[in-house]
Amino acid sequence: MTTEQKVVIITGASQGIGAGLVRAYRDRNYRVVATSRSIKPSADPDIHSVTGDISKPETAELVVREGLERFGRVDSLVNNAGVFLAKPFVQMTEEDFEHNLGVNVAGFFHITRRAAAEMVKQGSGHIVSITTSLVDQPMVGMPSALASLTKGGLNAVTRSLAMEFSKTGVRVNAVSPGIIKTPMHAPETHSALAGLHPVGRMGDIRDIVDAVLYLETAGFVTGEILHVDGGQNAGRW
């Protein structure tokens, strides 16, 4: 095993933004530890797939351990796994709350704590989380209380960890998307969803991938919440 190549862990890696991130990091010659509940093995020897539920600590333990065993290091972590529930607050159930908290918050905690420990030991690293601009600019007609509760927490902890790790060589950032054209949005909804952005279109997967890659190489940027949302965060429209 050689350890010269950098290694990134990507959660929620089986489709959509996660799959786009896997391809983009491989194009930059990173080795990739890709995880999700439905991830399939890869024919690429520099992609190691780990199947598991990111809300469970044992999944995080497995991902980091197998990444180290396979590739010898951890340089970056992209917390892409997440769920979003557009449901009126008073209709939400305990199960809704536990599922959102488990994936969005516990998932972040379990994998980030373990990956960050390796980065701090080696004196370098980068952590980036995918949140949502609804945290900063909620919309009438788009109920998003659990997104604000959970993804808003990720925005806050991004800034906190950026300060905590500021002298260690580990940077911590977030990308805050608008609505992105992924398999979770049926094509017949795209026209209506486009209108929820000042620029009049949905975002593409590449828009988010490019933002993550920018942060990956921006060595003087930490604690940043980078909005990639077609102007949603800029104001009302």
Residue-wise pLDDT for 46-60, tens only, equals 999 999 999 999 999
pLDDT of residue 169: 98
Q: Is residue 33 part of a domain?
A: yes
Domain that holds residue 42: 7-232
The pTM assigned to this predicted structure is 0.95
Q: What is the pLDDT of residues 69-111, one digit of tens each?
A: 999 999 999 999 999 999 999 999 999 999 999 999 999 999 9
Domain contains 171: yes
Sheet (strand 225-228) strand order: 47-51, 31-36, 7-11, 76-79, 125-130, 170-177, 225-228
pLDDT confidence tier of residue 188, bands split at 50, 70 and 90: very high
Res 1 pLDDT > 60:
no
Query: Residue 12: inside a domain, yes or no?
Result: yes
Helix/strand/coil for 20: helix
**Can you tell me the mean pLDDT for 2-22?**
92
SS3 156: helix
Is residue 2 predicted with pLDDT exceeding 70?
no
Structural contact between residues 211 and 226, judged by C-beta atoms closer than 8 angstroms: yes
Task: Note whether residue 45 is domain-resident.
Answer: yes
In a domain, 90, yes or no: yes
Structure tokens at 139: 């919309």
Sign of the Cα pseudo-torsion (164, 162, 24, 218, in order)? negative
Query: Residue 75 is part of a domain; what is its CATH number?
Result: 3.40.50.720
Residue pLDDT, tens place only, 14-24: 999 999 999 99
Structure tokens at 207: 């828009």
CA distances from 113 to 79, 106, 118, 137, 170 (A): 12, 11, 9, 29, 13
- Amino acid 3: pLDDT: 60
Domain membership of residue 1 (yes or no) is no
Tally of structural domains, the chain: 1
